[in-house]
């Protein structure tokens, strides 16, 4: 008797596309963009179901600082799983939450002494915005309800965080739902006038900020920024002097400074936190992404003692910060974060990053004179190449041309994950990459750029 031929099992990608709705994606693109089915990951490399492998040059949305499955984090997580998985963080606590808070306070800019946990970057931004508003209310200044944010800034995509985000792609559709921020010009050095230095751009942006604060200081609760690099808008960079100058203005006008270090924190810019390069302590510092080494969702808002004290009162006064997420301070995530900070403490991570950053800079130098490259910029282990249609006028390619997507598709064919932001090809590799990995990722990007601009 003839046996029926077994039907081929559908691939993971095919099963995925039948049921999973992906983030930041026009799903129809997957009619021609392959869906990578990743089975396992090791260091800087992702291994797919079909046997191919990919260099993760963007650290899995900038989370994966040490490479995938760092042995110390894996061991810590296994140990933690045998002790405690998760408990609510109201009315009870656990060793990883306390030890992590102690360690964060130790390594953070001086004066940040309180740690409020959440479970993702946007939630940390929401918490910081609410805390700032609530602080002023508790201090008898309820009219301080507004936030100043920078043009080109990105702080997440929940309603509050999106309100202070100024990236057209994410914001415009939802604009009718959002709070209206006071938008200040960005110190973005790329947008400077011809011949203007990053420091001069910073001075100009600070003058505008001063004028805005003069006009609105009575109604402003806080200014929120991404210190040194506005990542999602295309890795746009500014001088540390802007951050220092902004701190001084916030002090002068008595408004809070919220530093969103969700993307730039944890060694990415050359120091553990970007604010260090301006010797600045913000009133609130938001952390996530690299906090757990890219293993589990966790975020934290660090605040000063003065802020915490404004909420410490008799219950009847209604001053408590009643903001909660079920997975706040998850024990596994806190343990992963503790191991992450342990790696920074015990290994010469920042030193090695400086060596890698200098190699990356050298390798990208050949792109500076490319006729379709308007700018090659770098801060620590973030580097970006701005593609344009016309170099002298810096005329951009239209977004609908999707030149960046062409670079992405080329990268996939060569086994490198480059996921450009519009017309900006960027590199944000995990810190475990070798110089050979950097050579490969730059070579593939240059090749991809040549094809994409042709």
Nearer residue to ligand PMP within complex by CB, 56 or 372: 56
Q: Looking at beta carbons only, is 150 or 412 nearer to ligand PMP?
A: 150
Interstrand relation of 45-48 and 38-42 (parallel, antiparallel or unpaired): antiparallel
Q: Which is nearer to ligand PMP, 167 or 407 (CB)?
A: 167
The C-alpha atoms of residue 41 and residue 53 are separated, in whole angstroms, by 9
**121 sits near ligand PMP (criterion: CB under 6 A):** yes
Nearer to ligand PMP, 262 or 331 (CB): 262
Please report, for residues 118, 200, 315, the alpha-carbon distance to residue 340 in angstroms, rounded to integers and kept in the order given. Answer: 17, 37, 36
Report the nearest approach of ligand PMP to the CB of residue 317 (Å).
32
Query: H helices of 381-434, where?
Result: 403-414
Number of residues forming the site for ligand PMP (CB under 6 A): 14
CB-nearer residue toward ligand PMP: 262 or 388: 262
Report the alpha-carbon distance of residue 297 to residue 424 in Å, rounded: 27
CA gap 157, 63 in Å, rounded: 17
232 binds ligand PMP (CB under 6 A): yes
CA distance 359 to 311: 48
Residue 227 in the binding site for ligand PMP (CB under 6 A): no
Residue nearest to ligand PMP (CB): 121
* Nearest alpha-carbon partner for 225 in 115, 150, 326: 150
**Residues 370-399, mask of contacts with ligand PMP (x by CB under 6 A):** ------------------------------
If one asks whether residue 424 binds ligand PMP (CB under 6 A), the answer comes out as no
**Contact region with ligand PMP (CB under 6 A), list: 153-161, 337-345, 378-386, 399-407:** 153-161
Q: Does 149 bind ligand PMP (CB under 6 A)?
A: no
396 CB neighbour count, 10 Å cutoff: 16
Least separation in angstroms between residue 104's CB and ligand PMP is 17
Please say which residue, 249 or 262, places its beta carbon nearer to ligand PMP: 262
3-state class (DSSP) for residue 352: helix
Query: Nearest approach, Cβ of 366 to ligand PMP (angstroms)?
Result: 29
Contacts of 253 (CB under 8 A, 6+ apart): 213, 214, 217, 220
| Per CB under 6 A, 226 contacts ligand PMP | yes
Q: Is 318 exposed, middle or buried (0-12, 13-18, 19+ CB in 10 A)?
A: exposed
- Per the structure block, which two tokens stand in for 275? 């604010």
Length of the chain: 454
- What mask, x for binding ligand PMP by CB under 6 A, covers residues 239 to 268? ---------------------x-xx-----
Shortest reach from residue 379's CB to ligand PMP, in Å: 14
- Quick check: 222 and 251 in contact, CB under 8 A? no
Q: Closest separation between CB of residue 371 and ligand PMP, Å?
A: 31
Enter the tokens of residue 350.
């920042």
Binding site for ligand PMP (CB under 6 A): 120-122, 125, 154-156, 226, 231-232, 260, 262-263, 288
């Amino acid at each position: 008797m003839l046996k029926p031929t077994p039907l081929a099992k559908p691939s993971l990608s095919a099963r995925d596309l039948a049921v999973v709705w992906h983030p930041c994606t026009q799903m129809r693109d997957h009619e021609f963009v392959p869906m990578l089915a990743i089975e396992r990951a090791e260091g800087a490399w992702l291994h797919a179901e079909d046997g191919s492998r990919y260099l993760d040059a963007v650290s899995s949305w900038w989370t994966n600082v040490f490479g995938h499955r760092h042995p110390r984090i894996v061991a810590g997580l296994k140990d933690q799983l045998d002790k405690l998985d998760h408990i609510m963080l109201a009315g009870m606590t656990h060793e990883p939450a306390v030890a992590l808070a102690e360690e964060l306070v130790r390594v953070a800019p001086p004066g940040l002494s309180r740690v409020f946990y959440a479970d993702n970057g946007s939630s940390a931004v929401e918490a910081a915005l609410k805390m700032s508003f609530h602080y002023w209310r508790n201090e008898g200044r309820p009219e301080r309800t507004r936030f100043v944010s920078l043009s080109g800034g990105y702080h997440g995509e929940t309603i509050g965080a999106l309100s202070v985000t100024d990236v057209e792609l994410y914001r415009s559709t939802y604009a009718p739902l959002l709070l209206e921020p006071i938008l200040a010009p960005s110190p973005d050095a790329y947008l400077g006038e011809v011949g203007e230095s990053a420091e001069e751009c910073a001075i100009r942006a600070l003058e505008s900020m001063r004028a805005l604060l003069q006009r609105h200081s009575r109604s402003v609760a806080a200014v929120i920024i991404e210190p040194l690099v506005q990542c999602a808008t295309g890795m746009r960079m500014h001088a540390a002097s802007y951050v220092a100058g902004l701190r001084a203005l916030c002090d002068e006008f008595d408004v809070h400074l919220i530093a969103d270090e969700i993307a730039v924190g944890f060694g990415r810019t050359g120091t553990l936190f970007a604010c260090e390069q301006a010797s600045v302590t913000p009133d609130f510092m938001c952390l996530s992404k690299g906090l757990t080494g890219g293993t589990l969702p966790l975020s934290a808002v660090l605040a000063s003692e003065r802020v915490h004290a404004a909420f410490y009162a008799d219950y009847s006064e209604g001053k408590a910060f009643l903001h909660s997420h079920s997975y706040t301070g998850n024990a596994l995530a806190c343990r992963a974060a503790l191991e992450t900070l342990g790696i920074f403490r015990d290994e010469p991570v920042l030193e090695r990053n400086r060596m890698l950053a200098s190699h990356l800079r050298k390798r990208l130098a050949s792109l500076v004179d490319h006729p379709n490259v308007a700018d090659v910029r770098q801060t620590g282990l973030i580097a970006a190449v701005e593609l344009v249609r016309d170099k002298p006028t810096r005329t951009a390619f239209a977004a609908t041309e999707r030149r960046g997507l062409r670079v992405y598709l080329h990268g996939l064919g060569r086994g490198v994950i480059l996921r450009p932001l519009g017309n900006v090809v960027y590199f944000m590799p995990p810190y475990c990459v070798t110089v050979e990995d950097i050579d490969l990722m730059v070579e593939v990007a240059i090749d991809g750029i040549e094809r994409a601009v042709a």
